[in-house]
Structure 1
Amino acid sequence: MANERSDFPLRRSYRDQVAWQQLQQYFSADYQLNAHNQPTEYYWAWREQHHIHIDYYPQATAAAKIILVHGVGSNGRQMSLILGRPLAEAGYECLALDLPAYGLSESRTKSILYQDWVAVLDDFIRAQQQKDDRPIFLFGLSAGGMLCLHVAARNPQIKGIIAMTLLDQRYAVVNRGTMRFSALSRINLALLGLLAKTPLRQMLLPMRWVSKMDKLCNHRLACQSMLNDSSSAGNAMSIGFLDSYMHYQPEQALQDITGPALLLTQPACDRWTDLSLSEPVLQQLSLDYQVVLLPQGGHYPIEASALNALKQHSLRFIAAQL
């Protein structure tokens, strides 16, 4: 485990953060963390300007590693809650990243683009691949699902992807469905593109202003807890990041990505991004994929029935690829 740690001390710890501990009160007891089952934490240095926080469940003899990534309204600890710990208890090594500008990760630069998210995940996967040859699976929630596919366009060695929505923002139907003021999405996107070419690209916009963040979780109090959390749904991102996210061009056409198998886990009661918003991506894929519904689950699912289904479908999917 020593070789997993960076050469600088743990700057901040989720043990000291109240937000996720408040959030997990709305989970069933089986999905709550305590002093005995919380992940190990460490920071990974990336490109000198970033310290990436990692939630880590080490399993030296595990048959596979699972790397979990969040979207624009969540963080790595929230991934550990819904799937990281359950898969770790099933015997897999699990690592959940806080992407730059989210969670407890720290950056010396404010110039963070979506391309940086693609690069940091790709580099982290490659660093893990250099440690040993165990197969690597990715889990991505919301924007993290498409992020995993974008990384697969760069890294053909990924064994499988478990995605909770596949949102390609280049499609008008997708950005209309995900952005606030849907009727104005084309105008808003054009304005973002113009502002991203000016010094105003560094200006921060609260994510709740530009997206339907109020539909993140179907439990009202849990959703409010996330919206109050500046490390997840209460975060603000730059105009430059938002423009780069909405217009990202993958390094391969989606139909040319052939490496991983794919499991799409669609929350059945997602009030933000229903299955239709993933269809533009699914229709292009040539790789093997399957779609399952998570009963009663919201966009960020805290419902026990949805989480149990997510765990069981994920375990079957991983086992089928090994």
Structure 2
Amino acid sequence: MTSNYGTFVQRPAGPAEASENTWWRWRDMDVHVERIGTPDAPVRLVLFHGAGGNAAAMRPFAEHLATLGTYVSVPDLPGYGLTRSPDPAGIRYGHWQQFAQDFVRAESDDRPLVLMGASMGGLLAFETAAATSLAAALVVTCLLDPRDDRVRARLTWHPVLGKVAGPALRLLAGPLARVRVPIRWLADMRHISNDPGLVRTVLRDPNGGGGVMSLGWMRSFLEWQPDVEPEDFSSGRVLMVHPAEDRWTPQGISEPFFERIAAPKQIVRLENAGHFPIEQPGLDQLVATVSQLVADLR
């Protein structure tokens, strides 16, 4: 059973948006997808969570986004949430990449499509937009390039671990790559939020930050190489809505990648908000920024 993340996020005013729990068969996996809003809304939006997240954690934000005239789809990425895999130890970052591309192609229709990514999901949304050329706009909270030593130092719970993680994980081949360990052993989940209560909730969620992933998954992410470099990404608009008080991945480690993007782009700092941006006025600023984007696309 997943935790009630909605207790930490101010809910949108008015009646609750319609929601539906669905399943999407992908390869040998049953992927759980939560859908929020009116199915015939003028804009579609796909929201990707990051490491330690899931659709349940993203739902309160999806409810806000659905009030803006979007139909929001939030998949549980392989290894997280309610998604079922016959071989969880064999999941690699490449599964995330290919799933995201296949899912977006299946979701796309004649309406404008916005891809949105939270935390590590920001890079996944960028890759998916680049690979499919289907997104009218891209919204991210950060862009974490694992090739950058500054990013590695911040992703892990200690900077030294970030420096040695890549070489160390390369030694873990064969059966050792299938060893599954708690996410909190590797990622700095202590700073996923500035609210201690929300941190505890995340760490207690067995389908999110309290879950396990294989060492092979972590290795595959740290060895990431883009198919499209940011200088070659020129389709659609890019908004980075970055929490101003992010104690895990401060804006400075996303800026080098963001500044290289060739497409029209903008940064909006979410005041008083942590990595999981539940605080005001940051949450309202996030909603207002996406609202303007949606209005421009309609």
Say yes or no: TM over 0.5: yes
Partner of 1:227: 203
1:194 corresponds to which of 149, 171, 175: 171
* AA at the equivalent of 1:71: G
* AA at the equivalent of 2:6: Q
Deviations 1:224-267 (A, max 9, x none): 01111011111211011001111111212221112221100000
When the two chains are superposed, the root-mean-square deviation of aligned CA atoms in Å is 1.8
Q: In the alignment, does 2:147 pair up with 1:167?
A: no
Q: In the alignment, does 2:92 pair up with 1:113?
A: yes
* AA at the equivalent of 2:19: P
TM-score of the superposed pair, with normalisation by structure 1: 0.88
Deviations 1:67-107 (A, max 9, x none): 0010002111221212x111212221111110011011111
Contact in 1 for aligned 2:69/2:294 (Cα 8 Å): no
1:254 corresponds to which of 230, 248, 253: 230
* Cα distance, 1:58 vs structure 2: 4.6
* AA at the equivalent of 2:136: K
Unaligned stretches of 5+ residues in structure 1: 1-16
Q: Structure 1 CA distance, aligned partners of 2:228 and 2:115? A: 18
* AA at the equivalent of 2:49: H
Q: Secondary structure at the match of 2:281?
A: helix
2:58 corresponds to which of 79, 101, 116: 79
Q: Structure 1 CA distance, aligned partners of 2:112 and 2:48? A: 17
Q: Structure 1 CA distance, aligned partners of 2:65 and 2:8? A: 20
Q: Structure 2 CA distance, aligned partners of 1:289 and 1:320? A: 14
Deviations 1:106-157 (A, max 9, x none): 111221111111111110111112xx31121011000000111111221112
Deviates more, 1:143-152 or 1:254-263: 254-263
Contact in 2 for aligned 1:33/1:81 (Cα 8 Å): no
* AA at the equivalent of 2:274: G
Contact in 2 for aligned 1:25/1:32 (Cα 8 Å): no
2:22 corresponds to which of 31, 38, 42: 42
Tell me the percent identity: 29
Q: In the alignment, does 2:76 pair up with 1:94?
A: no
Q: Secondary structure at the match of 1:106?
A: coil
Counterparts in 2 of 1:1-322, with a 5 A limit?
A: 17-19=1-3, 21=4, 23-28=5-10, 30-31=11-12, 36-37=16-17, 39-47=19-27, 49-82=28-61, 84-110=62-88, 111-129=90-108, 132-195=109-172, 197-322=173-298
* AA at the equivalent of 1:85: E
Contact in 1 for aligned 2:114/2:136 (Cα 8 Å): yes
Unaligned stretches of 5+ residues in structure 2: none
Q: Structure 1 CA distance, aligned partners of 2:103 and 2:151? A: 28
Contact in 1 for aligned 2:230/2:258 (Cα 8 Å): no
How many residues align? The count is 297
Contact in 1 for aligned 2:166/2:223 (Cα 8 Å): no
Deviations 1:187-219 (A, max 9, x none): 222011110x22100001211111111000111
Moved over 4 A (4+): 31-34
* Cα distance, 1:38 vs structure 2: 5.8
Q: Structure 2 CA distance, aligned partners of 1:156 and 1:46? A: 21
Q: Secondary structure at the match of 1:165?
A: coil
* Cα distance, 1:24 vs structure 2: 2.3
